[in-house]
């Protein structure tokens, strides 16, 4: 094979065989490459995942917070989301549970090679089908349904005065005024839960009832720093000490939640709340991605009987599974987070995360106090 017909990988292989023969590269070359890669890795990580002096990941704050309901035109809002992103997934679930698909349309971006969010049609060309051709009703990547631009960054830049900050999803966009309404996920799900009841298909569903607000905030105080953000603190740690701290706090929190769920169907009792939604979007990605790629290796969710059953319980709520594109979740991490997976090789999906496994019986309805009361009356 001539050199000009070889691929870059084949050409590199030919050159190294010519130089080194069958022996390993010299130690000097290995140490030089290792030092160079470590330096470049730290440089890339400093942009991807800002850290404090100890090497601990520090999540940047969102720039557009808590929209005022009085200033919103319900019928002019558009949601931008992405399937791999757990923060965006929160908004897709609450939108589905409240029955707001007809009120808040969505454009779904995909990860780009440069770390940005880009728009592209479903690569399979058939909505609702995965790469194997299996038909299943679920969300897929879309074009930008509002302006037809190619990236989420271009949408942000259309706001008055432009924008040069982080262009994240989820993001709620005012189509008429061309303005970012909010890009903080929790603020968006609070708005979707309570701000559209006059037009929602499920107005009676309240994921943050007043009587449970204190408990919800208490659980959020455990879940967000230690689990939601905790997996990222593990994966993006830039020192051994930072990783050790993050991974210990992560699994202490998971142990605490699993122990609580042994006697409670949901975090706050019989009612699904926003706290459950926030926990679920991390759990559904845990064995798929975080256990392997983010080094959260002490245990898998499938090894926690209560947590795995709880995750299946929520997955089986009508409307939730359709928001869970499991293949897109894996692709979004393994094929695009280059500093953590330079080879872009996606591992096989664990059996415990298969759609069919997630549909298996969980029997958690027996933990409901109403169900227990019925059993007492029958006996």
Cβ neighbors of 208 (< 8 A, separation 6 or more) are 190, 193, 194, 216, 273, 274
Half-sphere exposure of 109 (CA within 13 A, CB side): 26
* Better-scored residue on pLDDT, 57 or 354: 354
State yes or no: 116 annotated in a binding site.
Answer: no
Q: Which residue range is the domain that position 90 belongs to?
A: 69-199
Give 374: exposed, middle or buried? Use CB within 10 Å, 0-12, 13-18, 19+. Answer: exposed
Please report whether residue 232 resides in a domain. Answer: yes
State yes or no: 152 annotated in a binding site.
Answer: no
Contact 92, 119 (CB under 8 A): no
123-127, 215-219, 369-373 — which is least confidently predicted?
A: 123-127
Whole-structure pTM value: 0.86
Res 54: pLDDT = 82
Provide the pLDDT confidence category of residue 125 given band limits of 50, 70 and 90: very low
CATH number at residue 247: 1.20.1050.10
Provide the pLDDT confidence category of residue 124 given band limits of 50, 70 and 90: very low
State yes or no: 185 annotated in a binding site.
Answer: yes
Name the 3-class secondary structure at 187.
helix
State yes or no: 138 annotated in a binding site.
Answer: no
Whether residues 357 and 250 share a domain: the answer is yes
Which residues pair with residue 218 across a beta bridge?
none
State yes or no: 167 annotated in a binding site.
Answer: yes
Please report whether residue 14 resides in a domain. Answer: no
Whether residues 158 and 96 share a domain: the answer is yes
State yes or no: 123 annotated in a binding site.
Answer: no
Whether residues 166 and 256 share a domain: the answer is no
Whether residues 175 and 224 share a domain: the answer is no
Res 37: pLDDT = 55
CATH number at residue 176: 3.40.30.10
Tokens coding 13: 């292989």
Which residue matches tokens 């929520």? Answer: 314
| Separation of alpha carbons 44 and 26, rounded Å | 27
Please report whether residue 141 resides in a domain. Answer: yes
Whether residues 93 and 170 share a domain: the answer is yes
Res 75: pLDDT = 83
Provide the pLDDT confidence category of residue 269 given band limits of 50, 70 and 90: very high
* DSSP state, residue 5: G
Give the number of domains in the chain. 2
Q: What angle do CA 246, 187, 328 make, to 5 degrees?
A: 65
Q: How large is the average pLDDT for residues 353-378? A: 77
Report the percentage of the chain scoring pLDDT > 90: 69
Please report whether residue 132 resides in a domain. Answer: yes
Q: How large is the average pLDDT for residues 43-47? A: 60
Residue ending a domain, among 199, 220, 238, is: 199
Q: Which residues are catalytic?
A: 85, 232
Whether residues 224 and 146 share a domain: the answer is no
Please report whether residue 91 resides in a domain. Answer: yes
The pLDDT tens digits of the residues spanning 5-43 come to 667 766 766 766 666 666 656 676 677 666 665 555 565
Whether residues 154 and 278 share a domain: the answer is no
State yes or no: 173 annotated in a binding site.
Answer: no
């Amino acid at each position: 094979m001539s050199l000009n017909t070889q691929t870059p990988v084949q050409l590199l292989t030919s050159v190294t065989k010519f130089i080194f023969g069958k022996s390993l590269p010299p130690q000097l070359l290995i140490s030089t490459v290792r030092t160079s890669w470590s330096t470049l890795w730290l440089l890339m990580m400093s942009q991807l995942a800002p850290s404090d002096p100890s090497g601990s990941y520090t999540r940047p704050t969102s720039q557009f917070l808590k929209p005022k309901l009085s200033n919103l035109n319900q019928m002019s809002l558009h949601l931008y989301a992405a399937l791999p992103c757990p923060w965006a997934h929160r908004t897709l679930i609450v939108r589905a549970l409240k029955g707001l698909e007809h009120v808040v349309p969505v454009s779904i971006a995909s990860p780009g090679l440069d770390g940005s969010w880009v728009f592209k049609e479903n690569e399979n060309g058939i909505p609702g089908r995965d790469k194997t051709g299996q038909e299943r009703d679920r969300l897929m990547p879309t074009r930008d349904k509002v302006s037809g631009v190619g990236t989420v960054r271009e949408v942000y830049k259309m706001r008055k005065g432009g924008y040069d900050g982080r262009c994240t999803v989820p993001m709620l966009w005012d189509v008429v005024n061309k303005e970012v309404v909010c890009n903080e996920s929790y603020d968006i799900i609070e708005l979707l839960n309570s701000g559209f009841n006059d037009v929602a298909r499920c107005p009676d569903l309240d994921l943050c009832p007043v009587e449970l607000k204190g408990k919800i905030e208490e659980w959020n105080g455990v879940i967000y720093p230690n689990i939601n953000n905790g997996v990222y603190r593990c994966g993006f740690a830039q020192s051994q000490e930072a990783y050790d701290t993050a991974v210990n706090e992560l699994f202490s929190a998971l142990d605490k939640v699993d122990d609580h769920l042994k006697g409670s169907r949901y975090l706050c009792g019989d009612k699904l709340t926003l706290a459950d939604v926030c926990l679920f979007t991390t759990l559904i990605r845990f064995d798929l991605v975080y256990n392997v790629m983010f080094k959260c290796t002490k245990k898998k969710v499938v090894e926690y009987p209560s947590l795995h059953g709880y995750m299946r319980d929520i997955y089986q709520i009508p409307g939730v599974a359709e928001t869970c594109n499991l293949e897109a979740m894996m692709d979004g991490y393994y094929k695009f987070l280059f500093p953590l997976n330079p080879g872009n090789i996606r591992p096989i999906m664990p059996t415990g995360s298969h759609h069919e496994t997630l549909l298996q019986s969980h029997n958690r309805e027996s933990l409901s106090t109403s169900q227990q009361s019925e059993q007492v009356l029958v006996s």
